[in-house]
Amino acid sequence: MNSSLSNRCIALWEAAQRFNEEKGEFWSYVFSYISGRMKSALTRKEKNREEM
């Protein structure tokens, strides 16, 4: 399994653990949670690249 897919699976698991059904629909929450994690990872990767 590649690291990108692994990271998304972990993010899905984390989102399921943190989900509060009183605040909205599950899949909407999952989409925004995983998108946020992916954006954060890309930002960290770019920041590390600039430091080199």
Of 9, 8, 2, whose CA–CA distance to 35 is shortest? 8
pLDDT for 7: 87
pLDDT for 2: 72
How far is the C-alpha of 30 from the C-alpha of 15, rounded, in Å?
6
pLDDT for 52: 78
Tell me the backbone φ, ψ of residue 25, rounded to 5 degrees. -85, 145
How far is the C-alpha of 16 from the C-alpha of 41, rounded, in Å?
20
pLDDT for 1: 56
Q: Which two tokens stand for residue 26?
A: 């599950």
Q: Cβ contacts of residue 12 below 8 Å, gap of 6+?
A: 30, 34
pLDDT for 24: 95
- Write out pLDDT tens, residues 12-40: 999 999 999 999 999 999 999 999 999 99
Predicted TM-score (pTM) of the model is 0.78
